[in-house]
Amino acid sequence: MREVHNKKNTNLRILFTTPPYNEQFRDRDVMHLFPSLGLLYLISNTKKFFPGIETTYFEGNCFLKEYVETILKMSPDIIAISVSFFNSQEAIRAVNDIKKNMKKTFIIVGGPYATSSPEIILKKSNADVCVIGEGEKTFIELLKFVRGEIKKQDNIKGIAFRKRNKIIITPKRDLETNLDKYPFPYWDAVNIKDYPGYFYHKKTPEMIFISSRGCPFNCNFCSNPVWKLSKPWKRFRSPKNIKEEIRTLVKKYGVKEIFDYSDEFNIDLKWAYSVCRGIEQLKFEDISFKCMLHASNVTEELASSLKKMGTWFVHIGVESGNQTTLDSIGKNLTIKGVVNACKILKRHKIKVGGFFILYHIWEKDNKLFYETTKDVENTLNFAKYLLKKGLLDYISWGFLIPTPGSRVYETCKKFHLLTNKNLEEYHNDDMVFSLPDVREAEMKKVKFRGMMLEGLNAVKKGNVNLKQLKYIFQKVLTMMKYAIESSLAK
């Protein structure tokens, strides 16, 4: 048993961290927009159960060498690192480098990638344990294990670990349905003003929160393994609880703009109206809000309620301008529904951003289907129509990303479409799949045209976050790359 175990005194030092930048993309490092809500929830819950434990939050806004050196100086007893698919390989490298120098430090890996691929993490890294699913309850039990209060890891639900050279995965832990049980994220762990915020905003400082967890839909491109381990897939905080966190963010931390990062604020309209009323009652006239909506459930009352509470911007996932595609990927949305939702929101003077995905892929009856370039052109024309009519203000235009844990990832593997052997090294705007009878040059060309539309329209509409200039510059370089490559391939 490691020396750190049975350390029941309260001076355990726990480091909560995100992975460092990827060394392969030194020209494309961009600061995290916001801190990790998952880690901040873990910190607050840890302090609830173990008030005397020392906790530190460390954002991985640096490359591997500096990252590891900084952690070695901190010399924590326990490290909790939150890992997604997109930063998984750098996280694995960091864990291994840390373990070389601090063999007795207990390293816990959590997050989406630890949930979808715990075996890969434990095979490739020297991490001690992976947390599968939500971490609040599991993390407390792991601390009790480290302190010797729980004798066997086997008795902890929702983890994966090594035992006698085998990887053990314990029974899954059910999701907590009463989200009000958890204390608010531990905002004292970070300096909110250090974070640049979202790409579009009106006021600073800006911060995120989540009013709910999960999504009731099952789009084939979505990978949300943490919140789909068990039903219900969508869980809500109470309006009263949300109201109090908003009050805290504004009054205690001086936040001026708040972005609800939850999927689909409008799934339960009765609940949504109640949340809006509660925030409106706070009478914060100088505070701005943003959120994400599902276009199938936008009403006049919803738009009015959002506007009254201070909402100036919402995101909707349009995904495609082809109804056949929307039906086939499980979007539960119609083209008519998108137009209607945008019209309602614009009547209430709320700006709307639309997410669009290029070259959707799906399967039916064991056969492969995908969007052709003509289909993608149709989506581009639909985006142009919405922009021209003033129904959209901003667009996001990107290739499909077949993330592990999603159904489309399995389809891509099944039909041998993946071109990047090490998909975990993917970087934003990369192409990672090929399609039969679709030339790479034409895919890059339509990507370039959509990115041009995205960029020019953002400049026209305003509210662009100037703290994101490095990200904007990188997007311009990517556009130039696609323009040159598609031209040379003719």
Secondary structure of the chain in HEC code, one letter for each residue: CCCCCCCCCCCCEEEEECCCCCHHHHHHCCCCCCCCHHHHHHHHHHHHHCCCCEEEEECCCCCHHHHHHHHHHHCCCEEEEECCHHHHHHHHHHHHHHHHHCCCCEEEEECHHHHHCHHHHHHHCCCCEEECCCCHHHHHHHHHHHCCCCCCHHHCCCEEEEECCEEEECCCCCCCCCHHHCCCCCHHHCCHHHCCCCCECCCCCEEEECCEEECCCCCCCCCCCHHHCCCCCEEECCHHHHHHHHHHHHHCCCCCEEEECCCCCCCCHHHHHHHHHHHHHCCCCCCEEEEEECHHHCCHHHHHHHHHCCEEEEEEEEECCCHHHHHHCCCCCCHHHHHHHHHHHHHCCCEEEEEEEECCEEEECCEEEECCHHHHHHHHHHHHHHHHCCCCCEEEEEECCCCCCCHHHHHHHHCCCECCCCHHHCCCCCCCECECCECHHHHHHHHHHHHHHHHHHHHHHCCECHHHHHHHHHHHHHHHHHHHHHHHCC
Per-residue pLDDT at 23: 73
Q: Work out the percent of the chain whose per-residue pLDDT is above 70.
A: 92
Among candidate residues 375, 376, 370, 361, the one with its CA nearest the CA of residue 410: 361
Q: What is the pTM of this model?
A: 0.93
Domains of the chain (ranges, CATH numbers):
13-169 (3.40.50.280), 191-488 (3.80.30.20)
Contact present, 313 and 345 (Cβ < 8 Å):
no
pLDDT(254) > 50: yes
Question: Residue 430: pLDDT band by 50, 70, 90 thresholds?
Answer: confident
Per-residue pLDDT at 386: 98
Which whole number is the average pLDDT over 140-154? Answer: 96
Question: Residue 90: pLDDT band by 50, 70, 90 thresholds?
Answer: very high
Per-residue pLDDT at 1: 34
Q: Which amino acid is at 128?
A: D
pLDDT digits (tens, 9 = 90+) for 95-139: 999 999 999 999 999 999 999 899 999 999 999 999 999 999 999
Question: Residue 403: pLDDT band by 50, 70, 90 thresholds?
Answer: confident
CA distance 289 to 277: 14
Tokens 């943003």 sit on residue: 290
Q: Which residues of 442-479 are buried (b: 16+ CB within 10 A; e: fewer)?
A: bbbbbbbbbbebbbebbeeeebbbebbeebbebbeebb
Contact present, 275 and 242 (Cβ < 8 Å):
yes
pLDDT(253) > 90: yes
Which whole number is the average pLDDT over 80-107? Answer: 95
Which whole number is the average pLDDT over 263-269? Answer: 96
pLDDT(159) > 80: yes
Per-residue pLDDT at 88: 92
Q: What is the dihedral of CA 322, 323, 327, 330, to 10 degrees?
A: 50
37 vs 472, higher pLDDT: 37
Question: Residue 317: pLDDT band by 50, 70, 90 thresholds?
Answer: very high
Per-residue pLDDT at 425: 61
Which of 226-230, 244-248, 462-466 has the lowest average pLDDT?
226-230
Which of 39-43, 61-65, 479-483 has the lowest average pLDDT?
479-483
Which of 270-279, 388-397, 450-459 has the lowest average pLDDT?
450-459
Per-residue pLDDT at 394: 95
Question: Residue 3: pLDDT band by 50, 70, 90 thresholds?
Answer: very low
Which whole number is the average pLDDT over 295-303? Answer: 98
Q: Which amino acid is at 310?
A: G
Which whole number is the average pLDDT over 259-268? Answer: 96
pLDDT digits (tens, 9 = 90+) for 466-490: 777 776 777 777 777 777 776 765 5
CA-based R_g, the chain, Å? 23
Question: Residue 2: pLDDT band by 50, 70, 90 thresholds?
Answer: very low
Q: If you average pLDDT over every residue of the chain, what do you get?
A: 91
Residue 310 backbone zone (phi > 0: left; psi -120 to 50: alpha; other: beta): left
Contact present, 78 and 46 (Cβ < 8 Å):
no
pLDDT(26) > 60: no
Per-residue pLDDT at 8: 54
229 vs 327, higher pLDDT: 327
Question: Residue 91: pLDDT band by 50, 70, 90 thresholds?
Answer: very high
Question: Residue 404: pLDDT band by 50, 70, 90 thresholds?
Answer: confident
pLDDT(201) > 80: yes
pLDDT digits (tens, 9 = 90+) for 349-391: 999 999 999 999 999 999 999 999 999 999 999 999 999 999 9
